[in-house]
């Protein structure tokens, strides 16, 4: 009788084991601080079932840090992720909380241990973490572990990736320097990688680029202006010009570009009329002198050669500030739209009317 009872208990255990649900997942044994922990897994739980995974810190007493809800999809697939930017180096685990693990079979994954490694000390940044906007973000520093083998750089800005992940050069001591073109001020995050993964993440703040006055005695910058030369710098190409807003002071305004490329200068004065200046077909600086009453002058600069691009510096004598500005871009865009509208149907109507008048006049002459 006892043997029969034992067999029945054994069979019941087998049935219970067979009917228990499976839940499987893996976590890398090493995670570098700053990387997200992406977890994908499978389960025999019914599709639509929602449960939770918890992140614990294994330092001294076990401490629960965060829980994420997951929902089983068709076919048993599920996924979630945990951020590690605010976590310190040490031992952690991802675990199915007790209230959810009771229904899982013995072949299920209940927890996974892993280590977070902090490599941020390997990167030392020497460029300023706060920079004024001038069309690019300067990222300079040293990677202590790379020597001259290079390092990977990824830069994300307010609206997404501005510098895709790619290798940049380092010298024999690990020093690097990169000027990353940007189109706006804001918060930028630079991530450094090597073949093992993430090394460090560094945050930069870029503020509006109002330049402070800079005195100069250079012979090519003398003017009838204030005697203080303002300057601003931005990246420019034929398809993506540099735009500046110049706040003027009453009197005479002189604006001129840096040399080195054949720049074309377009400006919109206080009367909102647009002018284009391209006096030189070489790499000399372009220069404009106009009377102003203390308002705003909008300037667009681009290379005459479609294949060229680079940073252009705009200087101004007789101005209180120069700002790399999206407002200027909007002014030029509005004027272009107005010109396109004026050269639209009205132009064709005028042309057709002129042709009709010409034909009528010719017919009248023949009749005479």
The rounded average pLDDT for each run of 10 residues, N- to C-terminus, in the chain (368 residues) is: 45 49 93 93 93 90 92 94 92 93 88 94 93 89 92 92 92 92 90 95 86 39 52 85 90 84 88 78 79 90 87 86 85 80 55 57 54
| Predicted pLDDT at 220 | 36
How far is the C-alpha of 298 from the C-alpha of 271, rounded, in Å? 11
Q: Which two tokens stand for residue 9?
A: 């208990």
- The answer to whether the beta carbons of residues 264 and 276 sit under 8 Å apart is yes
Size of the chain in residues: 368
| Predicted pLDDT at 318 | 85
How far is the C-alpha of 231 from the C-alpha of 221, rounded, in Å? 12
How far is the C-alpha of 47 from the C-alpha of 326, rounded, in Å? 50
Spatial neighbors of 34 by CB under 8 A, at least 6 apart, are 84, 85, 120, 191, 198, 200, 201
Half-sphere exposure of 69 (CA within 13 A, CB side): 4
In the chain, what is the straight-line distance between the N-terminal and C-terminal CA atoms, in Å? Answer: 135
Sequence ranges of the chain with CATH classification 2.60.120.380: 219-342
Spatial neighbors of 292 by CB under 8 A, at least 6 apart, are 248, 249, 250, 251, 252, 253, 269, 270, 318
* Beta partners for residue 66, in sequence order: 55
* Beta partners for residue 315, in sequence order: 231, 256
- When the candidates are 1.10.510.10, 1.10.10.350, 3.50.50.60, 2.60.120.380, the CATH number that belongs to 219-342 is 2.60.120.380
DSSP characters over 298-338: EEEEEESSTT-EEEEEEEEESEEEEEE-HHHHHHHHHHHHH
Sequence ranges of the chain with CATH classification 2.60.40.10: 120-207
Q: Which fold has domain 2-117?
A: Immunoglobulin-like (2.60.40)
- Phi and psi angles of residue 14, each rounded to the nearest 5 degrees, phi first: -65, -45
CA geometry: angle 99, 23, 98, nearest 5 deg: 15
- Per CATH, the number for 120-207 is 2.60.40.10
- The answer to whether the beta carbons of residues 67 and 56 sit under 8 Å apart is no
Cβ neighbours around 194 below 10 Å, total? 17
- pTM to 2 decimal places: 0.52
| Predicted pLDDT at 2 | 46
Sequence ranges of the chain with CATH classification 2.60.40.1930: 2-117
């Amino acid at each position: 009788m006892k043997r029969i009872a034992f067999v029945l208990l054994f069979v019941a255990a087998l049935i219970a084991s067979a009917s228990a649900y499976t839940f499987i997942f893996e976590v890398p044994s090493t995670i570098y601080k700053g990387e997200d922990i992406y977890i994908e897994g499978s389960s025999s739980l019914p599709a639509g079932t929602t449960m939770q995974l918890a992140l614990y810190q294994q330092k001294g007493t076990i401490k629960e840090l965060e829980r994420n809800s997951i929902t089983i999809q068709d076919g048993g697939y599920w996924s979630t992720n945990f951020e590690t930017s605010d976590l310190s180096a040490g031992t952690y685990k991802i675990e199915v909380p007790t209230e959810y693990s009771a229904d899982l079979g013995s072949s299920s994954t209940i927890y996974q241990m892993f280590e977070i490694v902090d490599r941020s000390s390997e990167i030392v940044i020497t460029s300023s973490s706060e920079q004024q906007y001038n069309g690019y973000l300067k990222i300079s520093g040293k990677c202590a572990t790379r020597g001259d083998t290079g390092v990977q750089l990824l830069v994300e800005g307010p609206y997404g990736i501005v510098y895709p992940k790619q290798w940049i050069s380092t010298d024999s001591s690990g020093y690097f320097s990169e000027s990353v073109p940007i189109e706006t001020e804001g918060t930028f995050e630079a991530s450094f990688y090597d073949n093992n993964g993430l090394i460090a993440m560094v945050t930069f703040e870029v503020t509006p680029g109002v330049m402070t006055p800079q005195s100069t005695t250079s012979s090519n910058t003398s003017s009838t202006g204030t005697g203080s030369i303002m300057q601003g710098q931005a990246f420019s190409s034929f398809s993506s010009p540099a735009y500046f807003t110049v706040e003027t002071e009453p009197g005479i305004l002189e604006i001129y570009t840096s040399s080195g490329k054949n720049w074309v200068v377009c400006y919109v004065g206080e009367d909102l009329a647009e002018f284009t200046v391209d006096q030189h077909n070489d790499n000399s600086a372009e220069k404009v002198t106009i009377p102003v009453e203390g308002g705003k002058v909008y300037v667009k600069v681009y290379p005459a050669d479609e294949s060229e691009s680079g940073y252009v510096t705009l200087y101004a004598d007789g101005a209180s500030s120069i700002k790399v500005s999206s407002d200027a871009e909007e002014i030029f865009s509005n004027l272009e739209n107005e010109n396109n509208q004026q050269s639209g149907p009205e132009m064709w109507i005028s042309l057709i009317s002129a042709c009709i008048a010409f034909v009528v006049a010719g017919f009248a002459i023949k009749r005479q």
